[in-house]
Structure 1
Amino acid sequence: MILNDSKIIGTGPDFFGLSAYGEHAILTVNNLTMNAKGKNSKTVEVDKDAQVNIQNGSVITTEGAFSPAIQLTQKGRLNVSDSAIKTLGKNSATFYVAPGNSEQKSVAEMTGGSLEASGDLILSQGGTMDVVLNQVSVSSPGSGYLLNVLNSNSGQTGEVNLVLNDIKEPGVELEKKQTLRGIFLLLKAVRLT
């Protein structure tokens, strides 16, 4: 499915924007403006080996608390190019990977455009994801971290492999190509007495 030159606005809590589900599902959006204003909302969900392409000047925004812009689960594949993803509400990540089997790794790749979060920029709560950012303008996270990797409440270990290529702060020119690669794994030990 292809969606061109559209505007979607969700005003209430628990708004759910676009979803792609299943291995043959491919959703492409060009010049889409989407805004989820209520708490516990999400604009895009990519699940079960589906693919979403966000491109050509799209602007994806969430304003409510606990409202990730994009949620990936179970081999979800996301490609973003020349678009902006922004969260304004408390504890709202731009990319969120939900709990899942570590063999069900999701992948997000972004080229050009910008990321700005009021919470964590990238958040895993027991999910596994590769994130590649190429020439993306990244604003400092508001109340969160660039990358926050946690275990889920059910004990699934979060894991994120992050690759940053030519990342820049808005308004600051790069002097030379800079690349940072690494696997970020956080194990949370719980002691029962």
Structure 2
Amino acid sequence: MLLKNFFELFVLSVGRGGIRCPEIFGLKDFSKSELEVKGFELVGDSSDFHFYEKEYGLVHCNRLLSVALKRYFYIEDALGSGLSVSVGARLVTLLRQLSEFRSENKDSAVDVVFYFSDDKSEGAVIIDGVMVVRFCQWGNRSAYMVSTIESDFEEGKVFKSVATDAVKHTMVRYDSGYIGRDAKYRGANSAFGRLVRFLWKQ
């Protein structure tokens, strides 16, 4: 079944620790041959690290959101998948929906750890230890918008923790409980302030 709702895709990805269901993209599997038949574009050198990419239109908050599915390979070794998200998916909205969904379904609470650049214009949240949602602020007064959704490459023999390691090595960690209760962070940045106010209520 071809999935048409962005939040459903997000919940399914988080619940399974990655994008592991080819059928929701209209694919039989994630093999190179299937991706080529279905019109995916090859990006990079197939004799090295490369990926196949194709855009899909998904509904999010009554708007159409452009989402690019990327399937990564190292030569012939399949590594995993990721999503590149066009402007339109607010981080706080997605986290609120996820929290409400898990609460309604009596699932475990969302385990989140936040990381930020020095100026807090961009960052990432690691969910349940393996899923990485990167976000950024497009303007001085705008909210954080989701830019990519990735997971560690558990399928491959190389680059296994590349998604989480890239975040941990390039950004500063902020404990969600701490930034949600320390008032001195609330005025640091407009998007950061919105996130703090959301965490304050959790």
TM-score, normalised to structure 2's length? 0.29
Where relative contact order (Cα < 8 A, 6+ residues apart) is larger, the structure is: 2
TM-score by length of 1: 0.30
Considering fraction of residues, name the structure with more helix.
Answer: 2
| Bigger strand fraction | 1
